[in-house]
Amino acid sequence: MLALDDNIPIDLDVDAGIRKVTAMGVPVEARYWEYRRHRHKRSQLVYVMRGIVNCEVDNAVWVIPPNCAIWIPGGAEHSLRGWGAAECYSLFIDPSRDPMGLSQCHTLSVTLLLRELIIEAAKLPEAYDEEGSEGRLIATLLDQLSVAPVEDFCLPLPQDARIKRMARRLLEHPSDKTTLSEWALRIGMSERNLSRLLLAETGMNFSHWRRQLHVIHALRRLISGELVQNVALDLGYENASGFITMFRKVVGKPPARYLSEGQLCAYHRSCLRRIVTG
């Protein structure tokens, strides 16, 4: 079900496809749009050509920048949400043709060849000839998908209920400057136990976790065309220089260079992992 700014729902039964692999392009011009939580038997690949999309799957949020895709296993409850004009393509794949063998969500790096195959597949008629050139195009697409590099564009979030409350607050208000010791008092834990549990459940200390959160929040806004200065100030940095230093430390290059090179999916797996929201 798709809800736009005017909340007009659009239903789509992807499991009713007459071929085991179907593809479609989905241009969206709304300021805000969302496919509300749903599930289907078929696995889904969502490729983002333009814009930036968040995908919530099994209580996790995955950030999908341009020229990246997310693999959603069949049966997984999920939703998609985007901001601003976007151009996305979706593949819906019957489990019998699953080329990935992945039981969990992953973001994927999309090569130029895979991108063109996805675009061409979206042009095929619903009842394309599986034995002819159209079927061979789909077979090649699945072959390329099976070797696509797996990346992770997510940030770990703790499962402990008390720490999760802290994390949810920071997700909603990333500019919050509350210190670790202040959070410990607020949620009724010692600072030592808070640090230990956060590291055990996310693999990151508090400073590292918050920097990763800031990068994820900034990516959505920067790709949408907002100025680095505005994003930096809204995240609580005193100036753009401090934000750029943080971004370079996490990503390896400043925001302008990172975005202009168009290498968003080449981000190292350890940089952005899972955000759990449930």
Domains along the sequence of the chain with CATH: 2-151 (2.60.120.280), 159-270 (1.10.10.60)
pLDDT at 252: 81
* Strand ordering across the sheet containing 106-109: 21-28, 86-93, 43-50, 68-72, 106-109, 150-151
Give pLDDT tens digits along the chain (278 positions). 444 444 434 446 788 878 999 999 877 666 677 888 889 999 999 998 887 788 887 666 777 877 889 999 999 999 888 766 778 899 999 988 888 777 778 888 888 999 999 999 999 999 999 999 999 999 999 999 988 887 666 777 788 999 989 988 898 889 999 999 999 999 999 999 999 999 998 888 999 999 988 988 887 788 767 899 999 999 999 999 999 999 998 878 898 887 776 544 444 333 343 333 33
Phi-psi label, residue 270: left if phi above 0, alpha if psi -120 to 50, beta otherwise = alpha
- Are 110 and 69 in contact by the 8 Å Cβ rule? The answer is yes
8 A C-beta contact, residue 66 and residue 87 = no
Written as six digits, the tokens of 133 are: 């050139």
Residue-level pLDDT at 8: 37
Cα gap 191→102, rounded to integer Å: 38
17: left (phi over 0), alpha (psi -120 to 50) or beta: beta
Q: State how far the alpha carbon of 218 is from the alpha carbons of 212, 229, 234, 246, in Å.
A: 10, 11, 10, 11
Indicate the pTM of the whole model.
0.69
β partners of residue 82: 33, 53
Q: What is the pLDDT of residue 65?
A: 76
Q: Retrieve residue 277's tokens.
A: 């929201």
